[in-house]
Amino acid sequence: MPVSPRVLRSPSRVSRIPALLVGALFLLFASSPAAMAEPAPDSAAAYENPPTMAEHYAGLLSEQPEGAAVVVDDAVGGATPHEELAEELHAAFEPLGAPYHVVVSPFVGAGTPGGMDEIMPAVHDRLGADGVYVLLPPKGLPTELQVYGVDLSVRGATDALRDAELYIAPVGDVAPVLAAGLAGEEPPAVDLERRPEGFLGEVDPNGFNGPANLGLLVGTVGAAVVIVGGWAAWYWVRQDRRVLPVVAVVAALAVSGTTVAVGYVYTMSAPVGGAEVADPEDLVRLEAPYVTDPGRAERLAAELAEDPLYVDPLSSLSREGLAEVRETLTDSSVPVYAAVVPLATDDEVEGEAEVLAAALASVAEEDGVYVVIGPGIEEPVVGAAPSGLEIDAFGLWSPLSRVEEPTPAAALERTVADLAELEFTPGDGFTPLFADDEPNLPEPRGERFWGGEGFLPGALFLGPLLAALVIGLTYLGAFFRERYRGGGLVTVVGTGRLRRLAVKEAGRVRGLLDRDPEGIPPRYMPQAEAVLMLVDRDLEVLDLLGVVVLARRVLAVAEDPDAATDPCAVNPLHPFSGKRHRTRVAGGNAHLCEGCGVLDENQRAIRMLKLRTESSAHSYRKAPENAWIRYSFGAKRPERMIEELLEVNRVH
């Protein structure tokens, strides 16, 4: 395997030094008390008995100024450098006038390597100082908040944070609100970029899909309005309406144009933001050191310069076998430096071992392959990147992505074996795979609004479908309206509806008689009396229909003695008719209302009135021998019809 001579771990590096000088230096070093007292570098003690998180952070806090201690873990992610973030936290807590001990860590809390164990009470026990103890994540509400020996309100801080809804806010915005709540003061306003919710969120111009969604919506509505307006104009032209068709077309074009224009102006006028602006942490991934703050990477590089294997004290992974695997690193044909570390989604690499390995390699001074092992879902995950060596990024990533070992030691042994099979060449041109992924920014708003997922499919496909649905529902509504209200379409009525109609019309006749008995022409008086006699009896469905028609005739002639009084042969509930038509529905010439008169025979047959019974629905003309049918509901020989109805004992 071709490897640069400067990266090989071999005695050849000191072959030019005189043997005598080497021997003298060796004896001098071996005989020194410091060398004799130092433990062997491969001793298991270096990896056993790690400190607890409370011990770790208590030690870091104790190194800070008394009463003003802020520790920002060097693994904290975010766009703010760690030193600047620490200054912001000091500025937030100093006005309290009380000692404060603040830790910002991505490794404690739900879903992190540290879990939900209480840390700050144990930290307080170790430090033994009163004051505020706060454990904060890089984003969101405090993980822990404790107050000892000072008059500050934990409840006030909790309420202030809840009211401000800082659930995903950066810690720099959370801290001032937290401190104000502790002191019982009005918290400062936090200007957070909040994405609109609900419908406005779906059409947000700053959203990735917002312009396309709004374009699709206005395209659909605009096209549907134009089509429905055109259909309405066509319908009114057929009805010989001269003004309404023009009104329909003009209104449809105006509404459609306004809808599209308003949607487009709303989309294009919003300032740039949201998904249109690349995340700063996505941008730093494009070039070394691949992180906003390289503090952890630099610390790891310094540790690995002293020892090729480093185990972070906060790592929750098993340490079994790590002392022994150290020999594997030193005996490798290519220098390998390995760090076993905790990882979390809120750290500076967003929990990606590959990114931390690349950051580590970019700041390391020693040439070799830098391996990072962190916690995974079921087994440790491995990331690697070379420094001073070149290799195809996919060729390096591919074998390591298949490392699935239960412990870091086993994973590291497998990784070293896989690295030995790869070909490295000298150079500094290695670029990790993730650095080739440009931020996923959307196309210009105008293209998304008008394009293939926006206005066009709405106008060409969804709009016509919506228009067809509206027109279809209009016809369907007319169908049911006429069906149940006695209109021009198929009408099926039953005993209940006809009884209500009969009572209503008979009531109108009775009211007319009470008000103006002479208002009814004398020759129609027997029909009025028959209505009042029949309506109070237990009648069959055809009798109820007859009462309705008879009552309407009486009322019509009372209003206009010359009014037409012949019922429509298709549907007696239609308006009375004075014109006769030749039609099969009545077996010859018969009176038809204006609407039925213009229909063909098939349409008339379809619209024939049907009476519903308990078992079926049949044409009202099913029994032609019935007096109501033979005498056309009293239009012919009404006195004889009434006489026959009385003879069949229906009104005793």
Residue-wise pLDDT for 516-545, tens only, equals 888 899 999 999 999 998 888 888 899 999
Q: How far apart, in whole angstroms, are the C-alpha atoms of residue 57 and residue 371?
A: 26
Q: What is the pLDDT of residue 200?
A: 79
Judged against a pLDDT cut of 50, whether residue 606 lies above it is answered with: yes
Q: In the block, which residue shows the tokens 């005993």?
A: 495
Which of 67-76, 87-96, 400-409, 484-493 has the weakest average pLDDT? 484-493
Q: What is the mean pLDDT of residues 477-497?
A: 67
- Residue 117 vs residue 128, higher pLDDT: 128
Q: What is the pLDDT of residue 483?
A: 54
Six-digit token string for 618: 């049949």
98 DSSP 8-state letter = S
Is residue 377 very low, low, confident or very high in pLDDT (cuts 50, 70, 90)? confident
> CA torsion 418→419→423→426, rounded to 10°?
170
Judged against a pLDDT cut of 70, whether residue 235 lies above it is answered with: yes
Antiparallel, parallel or unpaired: β 389-390 and 425-426? antiparallel
Angle between helical axes of 408-420 and 322-330 (0-180°, round to 10): 10
- Which residues have C-beta within 8 Å of that of residue 369, sequence separation ≥ 6? 334, 335, 336, 337, 361, 384, 385, 386, 387, 389, 419, 424
Which of 266-275, 453-462, 598-607 has the weakest average pLDDT? 598-607
Judged against a pLDDT cut of 90, whether residue 199 lies above it is answered with: no
Question: Can you say how many angstroms the Cα of residue 230 is from the centroid of all Cα atoms in its chain?
Answer: 36
On whether the CB atoms of residues 638 and 631 are closer than 8 A, the answer is yes
Q: What is the pLDDT of residue 482?
A: 55
Provide the mean pLDDT of the chain.
Answer: 85
Question: Can you say how many angstroms the Cα of residue 600 is from the centroid of all Cα atoms in its chain?
Answer: 54
Q: What is the pLDDT of residue 29?
A: 35
Long-range contacts formed by 641-649: CB under 8 A, 24+ apart? 642/526, 642/527, 642/530, 645/530, 645/534, 645/543
Nearest of 552, 553, 534 to residue 542 by alpha carbon = 534
Q: What is the pLDDT of residue 219?
A: 95
CA distances (Å), 517 to each of 25, 298, 520, 528, 551, in order? 140, 110, 6, 11, 15
Judged against a pLDDT cut of 50, whether residue 515 lies above it is answered with: yes
Nearest of 413, 428, 304 to residue 366 by alpha carbon = 304
Which of 168-172, 487-491, 644-648 has the weakest average pLDDT? 487-491
> What percent of the chain has pLDDT above 90?
58
Measured from the Cβ of residue 257, the count of other Cβ atoms closer than 10 Å reads 13
Q: What is the pLDDT of residue 79?
A: 85
Q: What is the mean pLDDT of residues 560-572?
A: 91
Judged against a pLDDT cut of 90, whether residue 481 lies above it is answered with: no
Strands, E assignment, 375-455 = 381-387, 389-390, 425-426
Q: What is the pLDDT of residue 240?
A: 64
Most confident of 1-10, 149-158, 315-324: 149-158
Q: How far apart, in whole angstroms, are the C-alpha atoms of residue 509 and residue 531?
A: 8
Query: In which order are the strands placed within the sheet that holds 492-493?
Result: 492-493, 610-612, 617-619
Judged against a pLDDT cut of 60, whether residue 21 lies above it is answered with: no
Q: What is the pLDDT of residue 392?
A: 93
Is residue 26 very low, low, confident or very high in pLDDT (cuts 50, 70, 90)? very low
| Helix and strand numbers, DSSP H then E, in the chain | 26, 15
Six-digit token string for 15: 């072959």
Q: Tell me if residue 404 falls in helix, strand or coil.
A: coil
> What percent of the chain has pLDDT above 70?
89
Q: How far apart, in whole angstroms, are the C-alpha atoms of residue 183 and residue 635?
A: 94
Judged against a pLDDT cut of 50, whether residue 260 lies above it is answered with: yes
- Residue 332 vs residue 185, higher pLDDT: 185
Measured from the Cβ of residue 487, the count of other Cβ atoms closer than 10 Å reads 18
Q: What is the pLDDT of residue 279?
A: 81
For the entire predicted model, the pTM comes to 0.64
Strands, E assignment, 205-334 = 309-311
Is residue 194 very low, low, confident or very high in pLDDT (cuts 50, 70, 90)? low
Six-digit token string for 582: 């030749």
Q: Give 383's strand partners.
A: 372
- Residue 201 vs residue 412, higher pLDDT: 412
Q: What is the pLDDT of residue 336?
A: 94
Q: What is the pLDDT of residues 263-283, one digit of tens each?
A: 999 999 989 888 888 888 888
Which of 14-18, 86-90, 317-321, 477-481 has the weakest average pLDDT? 14-18
Judged against a pLDDT cut of 60, whether residue 143 lies above it is answered with: yes
- Which residues have C-beta within 8 Å of that of residue 268, sequence separation ≥ 6? 205, 445, 446, 449
Q: What is the pLDDT of residue 42?
A: 39
On whether the CB atoms of residues 386 and 369 are closer than 8 A, the answer is yes
Six-digit token string for 321: 């076998």
Burial class, 396, CB count within 10 angstroms (exposed 0-12 / middle 13-18 / buried 19+): buried
On whether the CB atoms of residues 391 and 326 are closer than 8 A, the answer is no
